[in-house]
Structure formats: structure tokens, C-alpha cells
Amino acid sequence: MTIRAVISDFGGVLTTPLMNSFAAVQDHTGIAPEVLGRAMQAVAEREGKHPLFELEKGNVTEAEFLSTLAAELRDLLDHEPELHRFRDVYFEALDPNHEMVGLMREVKGRGYRTALLTNNVREWEPLWRSMLPVDEIFELVVDSAFVGMRKPERGIYELTLERLRAHDPGELGGLDFGECLFVDDVDVNVEAARELGMQVVHFRETEQAVAEVRAALGL
């Protein structure tokens, strides 16, 4: 089926690798990403809700998330962790992936429908938006923190398709999943999109992803 729309992730696709940010957090706090993961998992097992997922769905604030995480880390480490600069340190280590941003700009310029579908943090919106000309490149943004759902939940992909349809209701024949190309660096997000019938590119590194997007669109 011919592709008419491209739906792209933000973090790790339109940016440099997120592992750079977690390395910077480790430099600043002394806390390894695995330890952060273990603390979040412990909260998830105790409370039945994963704190990161709750943050990304906008169910808790960034401040609530960081205080939950700090309390858990206090039990894992022998000291009070310094997390209040988490956001600044994380974003300072993150840069736009200019090649991928340029590719998406070209895609939009060639007349493809475009959407950005991101699992994100409500309080981080000004920071990530300042990294690229979002509204020039994407017709619309679906941000987990504002819609109460996150990838890989089926509902957030359906909402993205609905919004693309609603954004250009005059076009002949509503857009279908099979006409969408989805680009993301997280395996489960890519698999969920594939199950819904979307064509997919699993971003692993820039050269591979650019080549696969170009091949899928015939650019």
C-alpha cells in the first residue's frame, strides 16, 4: 500500500541518543541508569503502577515523580540523591539529530502527511519543542502527557490516526494505518504499530533509519 503519512517519535529519533542524557545524569548524580530503573521497578511492584508510565501519561507531575524516585533511591543508596537538576542535565546532553530532522522536513515538503507521536513529560514541553521547528515539520503532535495514554497502548496510535484524518477531512478517502509509516527507537512501540497494520522503521542508528525511510517512501 502507498504511504501517505509519516508518524515519528521524538526522543532518540529526532534527537541524539538518550543514553547520552542518562550518562550525563550519572555524571551529575552518581546514579547509574540501571539503578534508576531498579528504583522505578521497585515502586511499580509495590504500587502496581510504573512511576515513569504515570509521569508520561500526565497522571503525576514531574515534581511528584522525582520525589517518589528520590525516596526509593534513598533506600537503595546510602544518601539523599540530588535529582532537582534532572531535567536540566538531561536536556543539556541532548541535541537535535539534524539528519533525521532534515529528512522529516523533506518528507513534509514532498506533501506527505506528518505527525509527531511522543511519550513525554508535560513540564518538558517547552524544552523539547525548542530543539526543532516542530510546527513547521509536523501537522500535529500527540504527546502522551496531554492525552493520558502512552505508546505502546493501542489507543494513542488510534488517536493519532483520528487526528490526522480530522486535520484534513477534505482529502479523498480517510487515511488508514496501512498508509502510515511509523518511526521509533523502542522495540515495543514499533511492534504495536506493526500489529495495527502500519509500516514501520525501527530506528537503531541514523544511517540505517534514513535509508529505510527513504526506501519505504521511494525518495
Contacts with Mg ion, residue ranges (CB under 5 A): 9, 11-12, 185
Residue nearest to Mg ion (CB): 12
In whole angstroms, how close is the CB of 183 to Mg ion at the nearest point?
9
In whole angstroms, how close is the CB of 185 to Mg ion at the nearest point?
4
- Between residues 29 and 119, which has the closer beta carbon with respect to Mg ion? 119
- Between residues 4 and 151, which has the closer beta carbon with respect to Mg ion? 151
In whole angstroms, how close is the CB of 117 to Mg ion at the nearest point?
10
Cell triple for residue 18?
538518550
- Between residues 12 and 152, which has the closer beta carbon with respect to Mg ion? 12
Which residue, among 25, 38, 43, has the nearest Cα to 77 in the 3D structure? 38
In whole angstroms, how close is the CB of 1 to Mg ion at the nearest point?
25
- Between residues 13 and 73, which has the closer beta carbon with respect to Mg ion? 13
Q: For 180, list phi and psi in degrees, rounded to 5.
A: -110, 140
- Between residues 69 and 100, which has the closer beta carbon with respect to Mg ion? 100
In whole angstroms, how close is the CB of 75 to Mg ion at the nearest point?
29
